[in-house]
A = this chain, B = another copy of it.
């Protein structure tokens, strides 16, 4: 019964590896305990059950995602910054498909750590898009648009939803470019459809 020397962070890292290598549905306490050389109940000393582990995974994933995005957008402005940010987002989702997937769980109300991690990512996107001179409401709509694009592209790519033999990076670049061009072209007087 020698101690394994586990702690919460070790568990989260091991669970993230499992998620990326085997898929989120394979992140079970049984599998995690086996990977760490311990019995499942021992994990409860460090995490709050499977639900707690998933929340920690989401926070960890959002932090990694934020780091990747903010490093990529560093020093860039305007359209270039949006492209850099977007490529970092999709790159993270590609490299960490399982961890990325955990990122999407809606936070339970009052889960301030998870809300904060998600809020940092959101703020970064808001900031990068603020260069386009939209009013505050327009900027928030634009943020929703970019998030939709980035998540939709990542999810479809990761789930093999893009069957066609066509370069994915070209698709992404065109999509982002079109969206930015669209925001610029529309200007102010394009509300007659609503």
A residues near B (Cβ < 8 Å) are 83, 104-106, 122, 137-138, 140-142, 144-145, 147-153, 155-156, 159-164, 166, 170-171, 173-175, 177-186, 190, 193-194
Contacts and interface: CB of A to CB of B under 8 A. Distances in A.
Given A177-B182, A181-B182, A147 B140 contact: no
Chain A interface main SS type: helix
Contacts of A181: 181-182, 185-186, 190
Contacts of A193: 83, 173, 177
A148 B161 CA distance: 10
A45 B180 CA distance: 53
A179 B149 CA distance: 10
A194 B167 CA distance: 11
B186 A155 contact: no
Given A144-B171, A161-B106, A177 B190 contact: yes
